[in-house]
Amino acid sequence: MLAGARSRLERLDPGRAHAESLDGALLVDIRPAAQRAAEGEIPGALVIERNVLEWRFDPASEARIPEATGYDVRVIVFCSEGYTSSLAAASLHDLGLTRATDLAGGFKAWQAAGLPTG
């Protein structure tokens, strides 16, 4: 299942994810609160836990977030190590958000790359 999900994505390394976020891509943290508290966070990332991700990003949903302006939004999902985020990004593809992807290696890779955390 994971390999199938990843075959549909152009996964981003931390440097490229950071650059795209500076250009307007949405970084989305899907980790649970306890994991964010233990590991840290990426400043400016939207926090949308995995169990509500599709509802919040589907432009046709009444529960969508303001940033869900259309199916062409660039979304970069991340979790702790980059496994759950691959499945989540593939699920966003299923909704029609074909520019969604994930951060390879997740938060831990971002942190190891020396990128901003809080």
pLDDT for 10-33, tens place per residue? 999 999 999 999 999 999 999 999
* Domain count along the chain: 1
The rounded Cα 115 to chain-centroid distance in angstroms is 16
Give the model's confidence band at 6: pLDDT under 50 very low, under 70 low, under 90 confident, else very high: very high
CA dihedral 108, 118, 39, 66 (to 10 degrees): -80
Where in the sequence is the domain holding 101, given as residue range(s)?
2-112
Q: Provide the whole-model pTM.
A: 0.96
In a domain, 117, yes or no: no
How far apart, in whole angstroms, are the C-alpha atoms of residue 36 and residue 23? 24
Q: What is the CATH number of the domain that holds 81?
A: 3.40.250.10
Q: What is the per-residue pLDDT for 114?
A: 98
Cβ neighbors of 20 (< 8 A, separation 6 or more) are 12, 74, 76
